[in-house]
Structure 1
């Protein structure tokens, strides 16, 4: 990849969105540490063709560009608001359009937001299995934040910021390790 990127994708249905802001935080921190390009998308960025698309080829140009960015990213940061204990339906539909082999081995940081703590395992019981299906390399630390963890749209919880730092450190270790492997392979 000539321009390695950290791509965020948020399953939010509205703007402004705590979830998108949460995802953007991780995307920008990881990209800054490693000098990578960064971009974050949400469902609105995919466009109106998403709902009717049965295959990726059914997306309009805007939707295909978002899907291509997700598939070609060096690292993904994924997030969704939690509804009824799971991710949003259109979020799942977007990933239904991704080729099953397209995310194999791709590093993925999982995040989610929700109204309360009873949804905290959504990342483990919903998001992690989805990306395991794709054989993505899901980072061990996922981050979930509730409404009370935000103040005026900004992350205010020290505990969640600390967990986020742990997730960013996980991502950094993996990116550094992968780069060293590429450098070793190219020098032989």
Structure 2
């Protein structure tokens, strides 16, 4: 089974670090799981303008293909201006509505205010529900203060929550 982590921003390091840390937790519990981190800042994702996928650049096509081929996901997003970043929304706009259908999709979101946890529930969850993804109940919101200098989550309570989410992703996806 292939677990794809998606870091939904082109700025900063906390989002990709938290997605990677969560993927490592899943891999620890389910060693046969193949994992890959897809960091949007490593791709030249074009702006969605309605063209057929074949007409977009190689980076865009490669990104979409990797997503189509994955069996389960961890989507990470920072919160900017009480919303998800534009590159992540643009990526969602590029995907076919069946892309996440029946696939487990865990969420790890980070932000500078505790109030931003609502973005996960009222913005990301409805988008993934539209895509018919299976969303675990224990997704994780991380405040900026819960990362150390190396952008690793070390807060004991948050690490426990991440471990619970990793367990749910593995069990739900039958990794």
Q: TM-score, normalised by structure 2?
A: 0.91
Q: Which has the higher contact order (CA 8 A, sep 6+)?
A: 2
Q: How does 1:19-98 map to 2 (within 5 A)?
A: 19-34=15-30, 35-47=32-44, 49-51=45-47, 53-55=49-51, 56-98=53-95
Q: Residues 14 and 52 from structure 1, CA distance in 2 versus in 1: closer, same or farther, beyond 3 angstroms? A: same
| Structure 2 CA distance for partners of 1:5 and 1:32, relative to 1, 3 Å | farther
Q: How many Å apart are 1:52 and its aligned residue? A: 5.8
Distance 1:58 1:95, change over 3 A: farther
Of 93, 114, 117, the match for 2:114: 117
1:145 Cα deviation after fit? 0.3
Provide runs of 4+ in structure 1 moved above 6 Å. Answer: none
Partner of 2:143: 146
Uncovered stretches (5+) of structure 2, i.e. residues with no partner: none
Q: Secondary structure at the match of 1:113?
A: strand
Residue of structure 1 aligned with 2:160, choices 159, 162, 165: 162
Contact 1:139 1:170 in 2 (8 A): yes
Does the residue aligned with 2:124 lie in a helix, a strand or coil?
A: helix
Number of corresponding residues: 172
Cα separation, partners in 2 of 1:76 and 1:30, compared to 1, 3 Å: same
Q: Secondary structure at the match of 1:138?
A: coil
Asked which structure has the greater CA Rg, the reply is: 1
Flag structure 1 segments of 5+ consecutive residues without an equivalent. Answer: 180-188
How many angstroms apart in 1 are the aligned matches of 2:6 and 2:36?
Answer: 9
CA RMSD of aligned residues (A): 1.6
